[in-house]
Amino acid sequence: MTFLLYVLVVLIGLGVLVTYLVLLPSLVDRGRASHPPPPPRHGPLLARLGGVRRLALGCAAAAALVVLLAVAAGAAGLWWIKRGGPVVERTELVGPETQAFATFIATPKDRALLDLFASIERRADQKREGQPDWLHSIAEFLAAARISGDPGEIAALFPLRGSVLVEKPRGGESALVYVVSLGKMANLVRMFIGVADSERKTETFRGERITLGKGGRDVSTALVRNNLVVSTDPRAIRLIIERLKGMSGASRPSERLKMCIQGVDPSDEMPGFGGILNDRKSIAAVWQLGTGAPEGSEVALPDDFAGVGFRFAIASADAIRGDGYFYFQDEGAAAGSDEELRSGLARLFEHYGLKPQVSVRQDGSRLTVRVEAKGVQAALDRFFARVGSAAPTRPSA
């Protein structure tokens, strides 16, 4: 709003200036007509000088008009690039077919998140050689986003909500879906997608264009208003489009998932939020995403484990924290899973080189878990070292 107000003031000022310059010769001539001056001593010479003055005023008015149009065009272009929309609510994308999800909202007031992004951007600038294409693309997009007027600040993109969901379309297998809800820069993303996907096949669903992947493992994309949707399965993208456009009725989590996430974070105290059901295919998808395990890898969880609801946040540039409820069928099953859960979470964080502190407390048939993991900066150093040496980017076991 401050930027638009500034542009409005500038346009009004230039408009007044142009009006004054255009009308000035007419006002002067009208004044002379009402008060005719005495006959000039040098007659034709002064008359010619008066004509030159009118010509100069006309040129100045034309120049001011050109400046006005240039400022207006620049302001309109900048507004169009910065344009986004309201980010989705944290469970707005979750529906009956959702088996697991995690969502995180980034805001300009999240100082710890900004510090973390700054450290990542610093490393990316220092390690340009040997970087994969996806990292180059992210760097180019961030550079383009700096046109916002906040040079070097990732906050130019905020507010922004990123979500990952495991969807199970009817008649299909579980598929991962990534959604980025852009509070700003939606049209800049639209430009990038248009250039990158100009030669791909497309289909239209519910009035929205889906750019199809070239192969079974290649991703398909759709930009629905200010929401970028990405998945290897177009059927999962169609589910998200229906929810975003309100065509699937009152889209709500299934009763099983709702039981896991209710009461986890009722006051929106943490920016991260999510839930997972104990479904074999869904757990496998989450496991592959979280650990970098190859496609087809699975992990078996006890049958008496129902699911988990959790929340998380960036505590500082070097630490993350979170807590949640793990639900079981009865108190005996919960008590017997205490140590196994504690050691499993510790191994998961240590997989990335983080140093976790895990506490587990039983509350009936559920376990309340709290985790704080430090060592994010050291983990980033190792990641960029692998990228720079063209080593595999997956964490080592």
DSSP 109: T
Buried b (16+ CB within 10 A) or exposed e, 344-378: ebbebbeebbbebebebeeeebbbebebbbbbbee
Section 310-321 average pLDDT: 95
What angle (nearest 5°) sits at the alpha carbon of residue 231, between those of residues 227 and 232? 160
C-alpha pair distances (Å), 130 with each of 83, 386, 388: 34, 9, 5
Q: Where are the domains of the chain?
A: 2-82, 254-397
Residue 395 clears pLDDT 50, i.e. is over it: no
Q: How does residue 1 score in pLDDT terms, banded at 50, 70 and 90?
A: very low
Strands annotated E in 126-199:
160-167, 175-182
Residue 148 pLDDT class (50, 70, 90 cuts) = very low
pLDDT in tens, 222-246: 989 889 999 989 999 999 999 998 8
Q: Is the pLDDT of residue 7 over 90?
A: no
Orientation of helix 111-126 relative to helix 133-145, angle to 10°: 120
Region for residue 292 given its phi and psi (left: phi exceeds 0; alpha: psi -120 to 50; beta: otherwise):
left
pLDDT at 95 over 70: yes
Radius of gyration of the chain (CA): 30
Least confident of 59-63, 150-154, 159-163, 211-215: 150-154
Q: What is the pLDDT of residues 70-88, one digit of tens each?
A: 655 555 555 555 666 788 9
Q: What is the dihedral of CA 35, 36, 42, 43, to 10 degrees?
A: 140
Q: What is the mean pLDDT of the chain?
A: 75
pTM over 0.85: no
Q: Is the pLDDT of residue 181 over 70?
A: yes
Quote the pLDDT of residue 122. Answer: 79
Which tokens belong to 222? 């759709």
* pLDDT tens digit sequence for 39-57: 555 555 445 545 555 666 6
Strand partners for 363:
366
Rounded CA gap, 279 and 308, in Å? 12
Percent of the chain at pLDDT > 70 equals 59
Which two tokens mark 137?
A: 């693309």
Residue 108: strand pairing partners = none
Phi, psi angle pair for 2, to nearest 5°: -65, -40
